[in-house]
Amino acid sequence: MFESYKVTLVRVTIELPNGDLSTGSAFHIGDGWLATAAHVVNSGELVEVVSERYSKKLEVEEIIYHDDERIDLALLKTNLDLTHHLETIFLPPPADGFIHTDHIPIGGHLDDWVGDEFILSRVLLMGYPPVPFSRSPILVAAEGEVNAVLDKYTGDPVHFIISCMPRGGFSGGPVLSEYGFLLGIMTESLNHNDGFAETGFASVLSIEPLLVLLEKNGIYPGENREMVEMVSFSDDPTST
């Protein structure tokens, strides 16, 4: 899956109020729209948004946040266009299982439908945690598994706990299910008493808030249109 979807990754750098630079992650869901965690872009001044595929700065035209501030989610409209990647002919041909795509497909597991079916299933987390001694930011991939489904007492939407270490910089990155779709977005490390991020549980926001945010704003990105339209159908009292 890494080879298929790495082209969709985008690095986000902001300048914090104290002047330090902070790096997070985002990913392409179609038509130039990126999904990420809200704190990746609203914790400081946006410095640059850089495509993994083309290593160039993207123009950010619009940022949309969820109405509920508890939901750590944002959408960025950019000029990212991966058409050239789709037209690329690979020599030698890619390995079996490679998917030639320009976006990450969003899953259809709405919160009310989520039980224990994902427990111990494999996941792939991608993002840009700072790596000591690296000359420049690099894309890091980590495999893990779903350990738990979390319903927070704060009333937040469904989150997944995964076994990957929650390093800073992974925030906003995609968590892909072994079944080939977006399971959720890496948002935070859950720990006690302001402990180090790496000692906490990696918490992943499930996809329903993303689908709802897209639908509410009339955004139907590329091949993810069908999943966004599913939210409208599920909210229709006449649907069965």
Q: What is the CATH number of the domain that holds 16?
A: 2.40.10.120
Q: pLDDT tens for residues 72-93? A: 999 999 999 999 998 887 777 7
Mean pLDDT, rounded, of the chain: 91
How far apart CA 37 and CA 169 sit, in angstroms, is 11
Instruction: Give mean pLDDT, residues 224-237.
Output: 76
Question: Is residue 227 domain-resident?
Answer: yes
Q: pLDDT tens for residues 149-163? A: 998 877 779 999 999
For residue 198, is pLDDT > 90? no
Q: pLDDT tens for residues 164-176? A: 998 989 999 999 9
Please give the order of strands across the beta sheet that includes 74-78: 45-51, 9-15, 21-30, 33-36, 74-78, 60-65
**How large a percentage of the chain has pLDDT more than 90?**
75
pTM of the model: 0.92
Q: pLDDT tens for residues 1-50? A: 999 999 999 999 999 999 999 999 999 999 999 999 999 999 899 999 99
Instruction: Give mean pLDDT, residues 190-199.
Output: 73
Give the pLDDT confidence score for residue 56 in this predicted structure: 84
Question: Is residue 49 domain-resident?
Answer: yes
Q: How many independent structural domains does the chain possess?
A: 1
Question: Is residue 87 domain-resident?
Answer: yes
**Band of residue 216 on the pLDDT scale cut at 50, 70, 90:** very high
Residue 45 has what DSSP assignment?
E
Question: Is residue 90 domain-resident?
Answer: yes
Q: Give CA separation, 190 vs 61, 73, 88, 135, 163, in Å.
A: 32, 17, 41, 30, 12
Give the pLDDT confidence score for residue 236 in this predicted structure: 46
Question: Is residue 240 domain-resident?
Answer: no
Question: Is residue 86 domain-resident?
Answer: yes
Question: Is residue 53 domain-resident?
Answer: yes
Question: Is residue 7 domain-resident?
Answer: yes
**Band of residue 235 on the pLDDT scale cut at 50, 70, 90:** low
**How large a percentage of the chain has pLDDT more than 70?**
94
Q: Domain range for residue 218?
A: 2-235
